[in-house]
Amino acid sequence: MEVLADIEWVLACYADDVPENGGACMKHGDEQIAIYNFSRRGEWYATQNLCPHKQQMALSRGMIGSAGEGCEPKVACPFHKKTFSLISGDCLSGDDYQIKTYPVKVMEGKVYVGIA
Amino acid sequence: MKPTIVVVGNGMVGYKFCEKLISKSSAYQIIVFGEETRRAYDRVHLSEYFAGKTAEDLSMSSASWYADNGIQLHLGDAVQEINLYQKKIHTQSGLVVKYDYLVLATGSGAFVPDLPGVEKQGVYVYRSIDDLDHIKAYATNAKSGVVMGGGLLGLEAAKALIDLGIQQTHVIEFAPRLMPRQIDAAGSAMLQSKLGQLGLQIHLNKSTSTIEGNGHITGLRFNDDSVLETDMLVISAGIRPRDELARLAGLEVGTRGGIVVNSQMQTSHPDVFAIGECALYEGMIYGLVAPGYEMAEVVAAQLAGTNKLFKGFDMSTKLKLIGVDVASFGDAFISEPACRTIVFEDTHKGIYKRINISNDGKLLLGGILIGEAEAYNMLLQTVNNKVALPPNPEDMILGARGGEQAEGAGVMSLPDDALICSCEAVSKGDICCSVNDGALSLDAVKKCTKAGTGCGGCVPMVKDLIAGTMKANGQYVKNVICEHFEYSRQELFDLVKINKLKNYDLILDHYGKGDGCEVCKPLVASILSSLWNDLVVKQDTIQDSNDRYLANIQKGGTYSVVPRIPGGEITPEKLIVIGQVAQKYGLYTKITGGQRIDLFGAHVSDLPNIWEELVNAGFESGHAYGKSLRTVKSCVGSTWCRFGLHDSVSFAIEIEERYKGVRSPHKLKGGVSGCIRECAEAQGKDFGIIATEKGWNLYVCGNGGSKPQHAQLLAADIDSKTLIQYLDRFLMFYIKTADPLTRTATWLNKLEGGMSYVKNVVVNDSLGIATQLEEEMQLLVDSFHCEWKEVVNNPQLRKRFTHFVNAPTEKDPSVKFESMRQQVKAIW
Ligand code: SRM
Ligand SMILES: Cc1cc2nc3c(=O)[nH]c(=O)nc-3n(C[C@H](O)[C@H](O)[C@H](O)COP(=O)(O)OP(=O)(O)OC[C@H]3O[C@@H](n4cnc5c(N)ncnc54)[C@H](O)[C@@H]3O)c2cc1C
Ligand code: SF4
Ligand code: FES
């Protein structure tokens, strides 16, 4: 049996509010969510904004890029450059951290983040 | 059923024995008993526990390692009795286990002299993580501390006390010199003055009679009746092998302790072995980890069916005190007429080096190095492998002077069986083989051979061997940027320049693969700025965070604001503006070490407003965030100072205005002093200028930071115009050829030909590129723009400086401040 999670799509911003190949931070209640405009690949991602390493609200200000042969999309925290997969949220720098990821869709120039 | 091996002691050597045995044989059931409650950990790096490493970081293996390898591990359960005839052991918890072979790896304990008062509170030894926990807890209330024993371990413990914040740390030593077993009197004197600089007070020739205090220690009384007051004492007066269990069982032990073993590590009972610091071989206890590992190897090999004997071990050591290099190797104490000695002493820099060579001048016998021990690995190899000495053996401690590097002195000239990593017994041959088999990086070689995984002292040599072997194989040793660009920075610099590329994505499409990362993006950004000096904010997402927001990110996520104050000169009006801005935006202000003012704690969304006010008052960005020119420090010079020869302030301002904003591989700092008294500390900068009677002296490639280095003279007595010409050439040459994040000093150290090469290029134009370099620099100078001014005046760019994209006026609620000395301080 398939369970469809109830996803609420929240309007975050306009697509051109987020710099190309960069991120921006959205406020959703008390939550801070980082949204990434991976324009080089025409993709959008979203994760928690808090870096689990030293609890800094910083990931949206990090640099994005890819890792490995499979070109796993990733973000590097600006503080100590720990990197995280934008797909799985796994820490790619060898530590046991895990960050939350969210689905993103863009319609008519508007960016929506899916919150379960 | 498999025969059973019981290992008593889960220390470094006991663990290594298990590791070695399972790699050689699976014929045994292994059962380990450890008295400590933790899995075996790296005692050699015990002091790092105070520097923030956790017990888990120091662990020799992962938690599941024993189970994964079928080893039964009982922690916190000491073996209390051995029955040699029934081949059984009894443990504290009441277990009785039958063994076929018994391996004693009980190590040693600290030797505690029998002094009245040793039982008092505040008296500790330095051996286990538990000891360190106790010391740490007690130290919070201690202002002074004493370490008894000026040997290798004592000095390490003393450094640890300083790091714990004990303001007054003393070392008392019974002998007339420090490290009496390793170094001579002259070396000890030099070491003593070096340690004095670290804040250690050394007392030699002191023998303690009583530990004073009521319940807890308050001081030490010596035989000469003098008293040294102290809040705590760490005893490090030597080690005592833990042979109590063996003694009780009736195994042969030495008169001064230690379990007697033969060259197969067998005790007086052939089924019982002893290894590590508890074993006494030919009258000697080996108090280092490498010989212990060799003993473990001997026993593991025998049990796996190969013959291997212990043949004694080299006791050369390098002290790992931070801040002072000390090493002794081979026969350090042999003296004339049994040999000839060469001594180099520099009391100014605190360096003492002594080498002992054979009377025929052919062989190195041993020596001592204090203050500078870089040559240690190579010297040790020269002794151990009986490598023939060069015609001028003094080159080995002084370096080749006046010309070519001494031939044949490199690592590649060592014989294949030269032991490179003594902790893991890895030879040069093993390392070269692994490189030939495809291990082309340090990590790969570490994994393959385990070389460099122990004390780490051999790592530089391992690196040289990897590079040397690759070179010998005709493999190109390449410094690639990252997985996305198979080029060195210099190569990419040239490619970008020749093809006039101005955009990161384009460069990645042409010369790279994948989507880039946090290594290549800022590197390309730096190349682009050094070449075209375009506005960094135009391609903001390839910039390091600091360059992206044109401010340094702080703990907690706020930013700092540093306006440029060229040469450190500022008008009262501008000072007032800084004060007003700080007040208005609630910023913490501080005078920096670079003669300007830093305003900390700015919210990202306040940055454009803050800078708008500063720009309107005539300030420009100070580029404190960029890999670019920071400050040109000045002294007051001839305008006010009675010694000043020229106007150092005006010249510093001129120079700072010229190079401001220029992006480089690492930050650049300069200084201009008005005379040789050098109040601007110009020789500690990437470029330093000092006034002379006839003009200026130009020094380059100095820095402070963690590895301070003085700048060296590039040209003397030149006029201002020539100086700027040379400086243009020098800086541009550095910008074009240095690896990323390499300061000028480090760049120079790696540059073949060193300073004489730089002089040739810059002063004599040996490459014929001087005019080109000057033109390239002029382009950068002419294209300067204040980044903050551009942002302030550009609404599109200003919009980027918000925390919430969907609530631009709101500040990050997770940023919190408290107050301290009437200013703010971030809580995080
Ligand atoms: C503010 C200041 C300390 C102060 O309160 O005095 C400072 C603060 C920082 N220094 Fe520094 N350094 C400051 C003077 C110095 C000096 C002294 C000097 O310039 O005379 C040195 C030693 C001299 C030298 O660099 O050769 C110094 C050696 C370093 C180093 C080590 C550099 C090295 O090559 O080893 C770093 C780390 C780095 O750059 O990678 C560093 C890095 C930093 C950073 C940028 C660390 C960071 O990334 O957060 C600090 C952030 C400042 C901020 O948030 O605004 N800072 N730093 C000084 C700013 C000077 C200025 O006006 O620009
Ligand atoms: C601060 C410090 C710095 C050092 N620095 C260096 C260095 O730079 N270079 C170097 O080569 N060496 C150094 N050493 C020495 C090195 O740590 C030792 O040589 C090494 O740990 C010896 O290993 P071992 O297994 O023989 O003994 P240990 O590591 O002491 O292990 C013995 C273990 O056996 C346990 N044990 C004892 N009796 C029993 C029993 N009856 N039943 C069960 N368990 C028992 C003990 O509790 C202990 O855990 C340093 C030591 C210290 C303390
Ligand atoms: S360096 Fe010379 S001129 Fe400058 S302040 Fe010092 S003494 Fe005066
Ligand atoms: S806080 Fe993110 S890497 Fe350290």
Q: What integer pLDDT is reported at residue B467 of this predicted model?
A: 83
Nearest beta carbon to residue B810 from set A27, A56, A64: A27
What is the model's pLDDT at position B401?
Answer: 53
pLDDT on residue B322: 58
Q: What is the pLDDT of residue B399?
A: 67
pLDDT at B16: 95
pLDDT in tens, B449-495: 888 877 667 777 888 888 888 877 777 666 678 889 988 888 899 88
Q: Which residues contact residue A83 at a Cβ distance below 8 angstroms, ignoring those fewer than 6 apart?
A: A67, A74, A75, A76, A77, A91, A92, A93, B517, B518
B711-731 confidence digits (pLDDT tens): 999 999 999 999 999 999 999
Q: Which ligand is nearest to the CA of B639?
A: 3
- Identify the bridge partners of residue B753 per DSSP, sorted by sequence position: none
Most confidently predicted of B356-365, B497-506, B647-656: B647-656
pLDDT digits (tens, 9 = 90+) for B260-291: 999 999 999 999 999 999 999 999 999 888 89
**C-alpha span between B450 and B19 (Å, rounded):** 12
Q: Quick one: average pLDDT of B407-426?
A: 75
Name residue, tokens 């490179």. Answer: B420
Q: Is any atom of ligand 4 closer than 6 Å to the C-beta of A61?
A: no
Scan residues 10-39 of A and list those with Cβ closer than 8 Å to B.
11-13, 17-22, 24-27, 32, 35, 38
Q: What is the pLDDT of residues B28-67, one digit of tens each?
A: 999 999 999 999 999 988 888 887 788 888 999 988 999 9
Taking all residues of chain B, what is their mean pLDDT, rounded to a whole number? 89
pLDDT value for B476: 62
Q: Which of residues 42 through 61 in chain A touch B, CB cutoff 8 A?
A: 55-58, 61
Say whether pLDDT at B532 is over 90: no
Which of B544, B598, B701 to mutate to test ligand 1, by most ligand atoms within 8 A of the CB atom? B598
Residue A74 has pLDDT above 50, yes or no: yes
Higher pLDDT, residue B487 or A74:
A74
Nearest CB to A78 within list B542, B545, B828: B545
ipTM value for the complex: 0.69
Nearest to B744 by CA among B754, B734, B758: B734
Better-scored residue on pLDDT, B401 or B736: B736
The answer to whether the CB of B786 falls within 8 A of the CB of B562 is no
For residue B549, which residues of chain A lie inside 8 Å, CB to CB? 61
pLDDT at B402 over 60: no
Question: What pLDDT score was predicted for residue B479?
Answer: 67
B812/A66 Cβ within 8 A: no
Closest Cβ opposite residue B515 in set A41, A62, A79: A41
From the list B207, B213, B209, B208, the residue with the least C-alpha distance to B120 is B213
What pLDDT shows up at residue B455? 67
Under an 8 A CB cutoff, do B541 and A64 touch? yes
Place of tokens 């360059």: B547
| pTM for this predicted structure | 0.54
Q: Which pLDDT value is given to residue B405?
A: 43
| Residue A1 pLDDT greater than 50, yes or no | no
Contact B127, B109 (CB under 8 A): yes
How far away, in angstroms, is B673 Cα from ligand 3 center?
A: 6
What average pLDDT does this structure show over B101-113?
95
A110 vs B: CB within 8 A: no
Q: How confident is the model at residue A3 (pLDDT cuts 50, 70, 90)?
A: very low
Quote the ligand 3 centre to B396 CA distance (angstroms): 40
Model pLDDT, residue A5? 61
Least confident among A43-57, B119-133, B237-251, B310-324: B310-324
CA B290 to ligand 2: nearest atom: 11
Q: In whole angstroms, what is the distance from residue B566 CA to residue B594 CA?
A: 10
Minimum-distance CB partner of A22 among B540, B815, B828: B540
Q: Please say if the pLDDT value at position A29 is more than 70.
A: yes
| Contact call for B548 and A40, based on CB within 8 A | no
| B378/B594 Cα distance (integer angstroms) | 40
Lowest mean pLDDT among B642-651, B660-669, B744-753: B744-753
The region of weakest confidence among A36-45, B233-242, B259-268, B532-541 is B532-541
* Contacts with A68 from chain B: Cβ below 8 Å: 483
- What does the pLDDT look like over B173-209, one tens digit per residue? 998 888 887 788 888 888 888 888 888 899 999 999 9
Write down the pLDDT at residue B323: 63
Signed CA dihedral, B740, B742, B748, B751: sign only: negative
Distance separating alpha carbons of residues B125 and B103, to the nearest angstrom: 26
CB atoms within 10 A of CB B125: 22
Across B687-709, average pLDDT: 94
Q: Do A27 and B804 touch (CB under 8 A)?
A: yes
Q: pLDDT, tens digit, for every residue of B145-169?
A: 999 998 888 988 998 898 888 889 9
Chain B interface, best mutation among A16, A25, A35, by max B CB count within 10 A = A25
Say how far residue B299 (Cα) sits from the centre of its chain. 35
- Average of pLDDT values for B742-771? 90
Which residue, judged by its Cα, is nearest atom 2 of ligand 3? Answer: B675
User: A25 contacts in B (CB within 8 Å)?
Assistant: 803-805
Q: What is the largest CA-CA distance in chain B?
A: 93
Q: In the predicted model, is pLDDT for residue B586 greater than 50?
A: yes
CA distances from B256 to B167, B278, B279, B280, B283 (A): 37, 12, 12, 10, 9
CA B582 to chain centre: 38
Q: Answer whether B424's CB lies under 8 Å from B454's CB.
A: yes
> In a 3-state reduction of DSSP, which class is residue B260?
strand
